Structure 1
Amino acid sequence: MTSEFTPKKKRRTLTRRAILGAMGIGVLGAAGYAGGGEIPGRPGHTDRNPVATENAETGDRRWRPDARGVATSTDAHGEIQGYASLTSVERGETIDFHVSTSGAEQYRISIYRLGHYQGAGARLMTTSPPLAGSARQIPDCDPETGSVGCEWPVSWTLGVPRSWTSGTYIAVFDTVSGRRGYTPFVVRELDRAADLLVVLPFTTYQGYNLWPVIGRSGKSFYNGHNPDGTLGGHKNRAFTVCFRRPYQDAGLPVWFEMDQNFVHWAEGNGYDATYASSVDLHAGRVDPSRYKAIVFPGHDEYWTTPMRSALEDALAAGTHVAFLGANNVYWHTRVEPDSNGVAHGHVTCYKEAPDPYAGDEGTTVKFRDLPGMAEQALIGVMYNGLPHRPEPLVVKGARHWFWSGTGLKNGDKIPAMVAIEADGVDGASPNPSGAQRTLLSASPYKHRGAHKRVQNTSLVEYDSGTMVFVAGTFFWPLALYKEGQINEHVRRATTNLLGRMIGPPA
């Protein structure tokens, strides 16, 4: 892709929902309307929202890591840890779970679907029978690539009922002695047209996964272990990471809470969504034209060429895109078969090191280091630093519809919003072609405590009308739902954004 990419204009048919929303009439408030039929002009779309129906079911708080009587597992002791055979599974298909316990002990696997559920946050979908646990071998890392892949047998196979609603699911592993581990996966329903497609960043989850942190073996794209067992830095990192292993310690990936809090908030507000993993995007399972918008709610750093092509296809189809984090579409990676020949089993990223296996997709460096591929040229801003501490998000463009109803003025500050990583405009990089970019914040911060930078929240509007939003900070999705970090200004602005992209929720 070059900076001259311009999405093709897509002709849209107004749905009954959009028309009612424009009139100020809620879908459920339309008198005498029974619902359930296909919407004219949108084949495969119906006005029945399965996410809203699902969230009317009774929730269950026992999934939480802080549930009474539960202590989460650690790599050091490996009380109970496991991994799924797939990042996502279609309804009607099966998914395997591979589990290790520190000794001979019974355990169960409970499957929860994350959502709102009247504030419970999840619903218990099914539970395995009692299973016999035993300790499984902790593998050494591959001496060439640093990859760590387990060969644990299948502990339990879940047949996903066709009646289940697409969503973010977690498998909860509980021993009889009260120790707990987790692993997430997605249940797909990609043949259903929906307003939103929510994509979870499993390639990035695995890039940050340091399992097992036990003084040997464990490697991520950032760290590895020294010969003396201490944790080393960049020189010790892996070049390839494997999906065939647990996530470290309790089993919830690094920054999974970004995705989790968006899911709680969005489903609590009735948005019609279906879900996929970044591997689905890579594998070509996603048809962007089925959705009004695609949302990347979490930290989405590691992308492949096919993933980026899918993003370009979405914009060309007139599908809006929202990134609610920062440092998006940053490292160019490859998703490849693992050592057992399992498709999409490995993620490879050599970064600054020579890439001995670069093929048609090119070397695995930053996208901005590939000709014509700087991420700013496509999404409007790009990663520019690590805030030393949380800083306020400083409002810009306060008269824009994005900030409508917040009461904010230019220069107003939303406290402690710019954190962990930040995006901004890079003057040396190309801007989106055939588009207008509006900066919605201009927030000074210090990169690593010394160098001054400016964070920008950005909205790109292509000539076709297609929009790309980038929050430019990790704390945006947390401000939607996380206790102690909820910000009503952020909630209202996000509602405004999705209202423009898809219309009001049911």
Structure 2
Amino acid sequence: MSVGPGETVKFHISSDRNYTVDYIRLRSPADVFQPGDPLMPSLSRSAATQSVPPAYAWQGFGWSSDNFPPLQIPPFEPSDGANTWKSGYYAARCCSDDGSDFYIPFVVRPSKEDVAGRYKRFAMLASTLTWNAYNPRGGRSQYYDGKSEVTLGFERPFPFARPCGPYLPIPGTPTDAYYASWDPEFNSRHTLRADLWLASWLEDPPRNYQVDLFTDLDFHIGEFNPADYAGLILATHPEYWTVEMRDRLDQYLSEAGSLVYLGGNGLFERVEFPLDFSKMRVSGRGPGPGFGNRWLFRFMSRPERSVLGVAYESRSGSGPYFTRAADHRFFAKTGLEGQYNKPFGQSGLTSPAGGDGTQGAGRACGWEVDTSATVDDDSAPLCTTVLAASAGESEDACQMVAVEDCHRGCLVYSVGSLCYGGSLVQDEVLDRILQNVLGECILIATLRHELPMLRWLLELTHIWPPEITPPRPPEGPDWRLLEDFLADSRPDSIQAVLGRAIHPAFKGERLKAAALQMLRDRF
């Protein structure tokens, strides 16, 4: 599912039509599908079909890759152009003679040697475990009733992982009644298509955030260290996780990490790899009501709410957010500062193109939503601030929160909705809030990396010991970033940034505690 520069991708294709293949970088700003131009010359292939084994939902299709040449990812070239190889979402776009097409998506990881300035970039996870859980190919998915455990192969075509609609199946590909009962165009809006809205928003001007993309399997095996980055971004639907992933996340946050959770129903259910990484095992929808038979993290005494500040409680909704703690620094420059119960996120792309006609409905809060409120004992951390909430099936069904853990020095920003990304690309308030969050993450990471800058800032705020002379601020983009922040920030913003920047920068607990106390006294 992911590949790095110099590594090879093998494609397993069956078609009873002649077809051409183009390799493209996937983008979809504002639901206008804008893939880059082909990165290589088009390939023309003759029809060649392959048989499908009876148990392909569990075992995978088992198709050979001999009838299609492998793709080696070339080295990355320094360029800001749209048609160069860099980390992100890609696909082999297969177009048959009759006009039907199919996308085989894959993730390109960053170069392992590209470490310079990584602290100003973000790591983002593609939720491929969730995608596989929802894949109905073969008449089975995690949502097929009747099994207490389900094994699902990764080596299956996945039409939901489509960057655009509508979906037209390639003639000759296998189907069945269970698969046909799903709506691929609608379900693409919580898988790849929705993640492309987020990824395109992040990298497009005027924001120009630098993002390195990984799969959740990469996170499982430790392919990268999130502490090297300004923050870790979870996309639209990170529902299924392994215990190893959760362990790595908990460790990262315990070391003052920054987590930006831009979806809903996250960190909900455990999956495992039974033998290798070609298939995964997950709890099925066996007999019995509710979640009693499911492998939920909350049943392992590791509730997701303790990390994210919110959790899925089988609630849905269809509406905008309403401001709650609008005096929080993340509302700066939104025009809603200090105003209670004001709506935002009133339009969006996750409209009811299928399903029951109510999910999403083109607003920021909907489909599957998370809340900090709970009916059991897995309460949100005490340091959780509810920034905004919607009124769905019940009051505050969906909540946007910030978890600012002063003890661990971490920050978690959670939006609590599958429909968030489709609204982000249209709503100026959501845009500004997320820029405030990401900008703070970058500044904190920069201060931790550039200790002379941190000392200079502490001197300005009368915190650094006077016997130590700070250096004069040199010219450079990092210092201009700090200058802009100081010129435009409220005292509580400076306090929050310095408090988190100090946290891992000092080795001595007493010095750290003294500096934090001086910071509190200052403001």
- What is the TM-score when the length of structure 2 is the normalising length? 0.67
Task: Quote the Cα distance in structure 2 between the aligned partners of 1:453 and 1:235.
Answer: 34
**What fraction of aligned residue pairs are identical, expressed as a percent?**
25
**Which residues of structure 2 form unaligned runs of 5+?**
77-84, 164-186, 288-292, 347-362, 444-476, 482-523
Paired residues for 1:55-134 under 5 Å: 87-101=1-15, 103=16, 105-115=17-27, 121-123=34-36, 124-134=38-48
Q: Which deviates more, 112-121 or 122-131?
A: 112-121
Task: Quote the Cα distance in structure 1 between the aligned partners of 2:45 and 2:430.
Answer: 44
Deviation at 1:366, TM superposition (A): 0.5
Find the partner of 2:400 among 445, 454, 457: 457
Q: Which has the higher contact order (CA 8 A, sep 6+)?
A: 1
CA contact (8 A) 2:148 2:285 kept: no
Aligned letter for 2:159?
A: Q
1:259 is matched with which residue?
195
- The question of 1:406 aligning with 2:334 is answered yes
Find the partner of 1:282 among 208, 220, 225: 220
CA contact (8 A) 1:204 1:300 kept: yes
2:50 is matched with which residue?
136
Task: Quote the Cα distance in structure 1 between the aligned partners of 2:411 and 2:251.
Answer: 13
Task: Quote the Cα distance in structure 2 between the aligned partners of 1:161 and 1:238.
Answer: 40
Paired residues for 1:140-159 under 5 Å: 140-141=54-55, 147-154=58-65, 155-159=68-72
2:314 is matched with which residue?
385
Structure with bigger gyration radius: 2
Deviation at 1:479, TM superposition (A): 1.6
Tell me the secondary structure at the aligned position of residue 315 of structure 1: helix
1:333 is matched with which residue?
271
Deviation digits for residues 220-279 of structure 1, max 9, x if unmatched?
1113xxxxxxxxxx3379711111010037855732222100111111021111110011
Task: Quote the Cα distance in structure 2 between the aligned partners of 1:177 and 1:112.
Answer: 21
Task: Quote the Cα distance in structure 2 between the aligned partners of 1:171 and 1:238.
Answer: 32
Find the partner of 1:161 among 74, 81, 97: 74
* Structure 1 residues 313 and 190: alpha-carbon distance in aligned structure 2, compared to 1, 3 A threshold: farther
Aligned letter for 2:404?
A: E
Paired residues for 1:285-300 under 5 Å: 285-300=223-238
* Structure 1 residues 402 and 183: alpha-carbon distance in aligned structure 2, compared to 1, 3 A threshold: same
* Structure 1 residue ranges, 4+ long, deviating more than 4 angstroms after superposition: 115-120, 249-253, 351-354
Find the partner of 1:430 among 378, 381, 387: 378
Find the partner of 2:298 among 355, 368, 384: 368
Higher percent of residues as helix: 2
Aligned letter for 2:310?
A: V
Aligned letter for 1:122?
A: P
Tell me the secondary structure at the aligned position of residue 384 of structure 1: strand
Paired residues for 1:296-307 under 5 Å: 296-307=234-245
Paired residues for 1:162-241 under 5 Å: 162-163=75-76, 164-189=85-110, 191=112, 192-193=114-115, 194=118, 195-211=121-137, 217-223=138-144, 234-235=145-146, 239-241=150-152
**Which residues of structure 1 form unaligned runs of 5+?**
1-86, 212-216, 224-233, 338-342, 355-362
Tell me the secondary structure at the aligned position of residue 349 of structure 1: strand
Query: Aligned pairs, how many?
Result: 376
Deviation at 1:218, TM superposition (A): 2.1
- What is the TM-score when the length of structure 1 is the normalising length? 0.69
Tell me the secondary structure at the aligned position of residue 280 of structure 1: helix
CA contact (8 A) 2:260 2:413 kept: yes
Deviation digits for residues 121-153 of structure 1, max 9, x if unmatched?
3323224521122222233237xxx62510111
Deviation digits for residues 94-118 of structure 1, max 9, x if unmatched?
01111111x2x32122111134799
Root-mean-square deviation (CA, aligned residues, Å) is: 2.6
